[in-house]
Amino acid sequence: MEALRIIGGTPLSGTVGVLGAKNAVLKHLVATLLAPGTHVLTNVPDIVDVRLMCEVLEHVGARCTADGTTRTVTVPETLAAEAPLDIVRKMRASILVLGALLTRVGSVRIALPGGDDFGTRPIDMHLDGLKRLGAEFET
């Protein structure tokens, strides 16, 4: 077994701030669509994907505001049934709004997601799960 031995130096001390994980916070943002009202998420990184997801939420009727690392999402009783095609094509995680909008609205129009091209990331599992719950798809 290999070992790593550290010699000398002074002990480390202090604190390190760690922001929330992008992949977790994108799902949390989408989950706010499931319940009308005001939702406060803390420790949210201010990154492009978070800003794009907030744009998606706003397009369907929610209000998403930022104050430092806090995002407040206010979700109305009624949501739009169409996600913004231009944003969905930019971000892979935007497919997540499909399930939330189907639950709240009953039918949805959404483009196939885009995003960074660094390998295959099929959405078949999402679609298969929704089909098993009774959803039908047209292309």
Q: What is the pLDDT of residue 117?
A: 54
Within a domain: 16: no
Q: Tens-digit pLDDT profile for the chain (139 aa)? A: 688 887 878 887 889 888 889 889 999 999 999 999 999 999 999 999 999 999 999 999 999 999 999 999 999 999 999 888 888 887 878 888 988 999 999 988 887 776 555 455 577 787 888 888 888 887 7
Task: State which residues form the domain around 65.
Answer: 22-132
Within a domain: 29: yes
Domain count, the chain: 1
Q: What is the pLDDT of residue 5?
A: 80
72 contact partners, CB below 8 Å, separation of at least 6 = 38, 39, 40, 41, 64, 65
Q: What is the pLDDT of residue 46?
A: 94
Residue keyed to tokens 């000398």: 8
Within a domain: 56: yes
Tell me the CATH number at 112.
3.65.10.10
Catalytic residue among 116, 117, 124, 128: 116
Tell whether pTM > 0.85: no
Tell me, yes or no, if 116 is annotated catalytic: yes
